[in-house]
């Protein structure tokens, strides 16, 4: 469906009634709409500083809310976001106003508020980010020797927990701040755990992470056995973070396709329906270090990775 949209196919992109009606994220986490915005607009836009503190600050400020509208409302009021010029009181004021107009947090993650002395959730999240910056966390993360070490540096901060700390680790790893492979480890969220329970009657003593790694390792064999020609993300195979994502989406899909299978969450409804947008997707934007190049047929009349060449 993603590739059909990329090449300008006006749709419908599938005859599957569930995929047509409800909202699902991309198979590959980096290709979903919000991650694409993070990579292209927040992290690598040509006019933004690539200094470690700046990249960290922008990434975490965006991801704490994980909502494009929230980021854009801040920049409309305060101009281009920079740690060097950031005024946390002004940021708080802008978010106060934005929250009166509608939700400023994405529904994708549950974002528990850290208890840092403020009455409003977003003010506590700003205090959390300020604490990270004052602790010198960007420099510590830049010196990290593994993806797990980055995760362990984030984990102690209040309000994160293992799942969010892992998600933020992956987001930072898209940027110039880090250069690690995504194969090192994975943390399964509640949705993935539910999806795994719906796929397997019994996983024995294997953890959710074990199941995800087995999926990564078996992908080529399983595609081949089923006669599926799946080229991945322009040649990039599924990574643990992508398979974690997939189990979460399977959890959602099965609520409608197999409501009799309770899983661990016992949910039988998908909240978000898909609003059809027949416009072709913009050229995809991925970390330059991945060196992915979509076939020209998938991005007709648009130079593939034109902006990414500037960022690189």
pLDDT tens digits for range 233-258 = 999 999 999 999 999 999 999 999 99
User: Average pLDDT, stretch 73-102?
Assistant: 96
pLDDT band at 303 (very low <50, low <70, confident <90, very high): very low
User: Average pLDDT, stretch 87-99?
Assistant: 96
Please, where are the H alpha helices in 22-155? 33-37, 52-65, 68-78, 88-101, 121-134, 137-142, 147-154
User: Average pLDDT, stretch 173-193?
Assistant: 95
pLDDT in tens, 14-70: 999 999 999 999 989 999 999 999 999 999 999 999 999 999 999 999 999 999 999
- Per-residue pLDDT, 301: 53
∠ Cα 118 122 125 (to 5°) = 80
> Is residue 277's pLDDT more than 80?
no
User: 3-state class of 236 per DSSP?
Assistant: strand
* Residue in the structure block whose two tokens are 């919000």: 34
User: 3-state class of 273 per DSSP?
Assistant: strand
Q: What percent of the chain has pLDDT over 90?
A: 76
User: 3-state class of 266 per DSSP?
Assistant: coil
State the pTM of this model: 0.91
Structure token pair of residue 238: 């599924």
């Amino acid at each position: 469906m993603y590739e059909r949209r990329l090449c300008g196919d006006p749709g419908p992109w599938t005859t599957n009634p569930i995929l047509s009606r409800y909202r699902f994220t991309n198979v590959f986490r980096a290709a979903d709409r919000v991650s694409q915005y993070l990579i292209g607009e927040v992290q690598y836009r040509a006019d933004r500083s690539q200094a470690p503190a700046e990249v960290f600050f922008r990434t975490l400020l965006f991801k704490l809310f994980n909502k494009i509208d929230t980021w854009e409302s801040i920049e409309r009021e305060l101009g281009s976001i920079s740690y060097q010029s950031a005024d946390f009181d002004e940021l708080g004021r802008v978010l106060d106003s934005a929250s009166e107009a509608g939700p400023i947090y994405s529904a994708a993650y549950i974002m528990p508020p850290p208890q840092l002395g403020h009455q409003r959730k977003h003010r506590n999240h700003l205090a959390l980010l300020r604490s990270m910056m004052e602790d010198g966390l960007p420099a510590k993360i830049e010196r990290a020797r593994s993806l797990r070490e980055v995760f362990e540096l984030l984990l102690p901060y209040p309000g994160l927990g293992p799942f969010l700390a892992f998600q933020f680790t992956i987001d930072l790893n898209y940027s110039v701040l880090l250069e690690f492979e995504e194969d090192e480890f994975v943390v399964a969220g509640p949705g993935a755990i539910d999806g795994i329970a719906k796929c397997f009657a019994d996983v024995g003593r294997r953890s959710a992470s074990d199941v995800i790694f087995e999926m990564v390792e078996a992908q080529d064999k399983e595609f081949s056995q089923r006669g599926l020609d799946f080229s991945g993300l322009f040649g990039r195979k599924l990574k643990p973070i992508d398979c974690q994502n997939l189990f979460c989406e399977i959890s959602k899909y099965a609520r409608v396709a197999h409501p009799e299978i309770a899983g661990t969450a016992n949910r039988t409804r998908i909240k978000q329906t898909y609003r059809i947008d027949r416009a072709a997707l913009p050229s995809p934007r991925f970390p330059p270090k991945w060196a992915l190049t979509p076939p020209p047929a998938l991005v007709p009349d648009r130079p593939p990775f034109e902006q990414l060449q500037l960022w690189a």
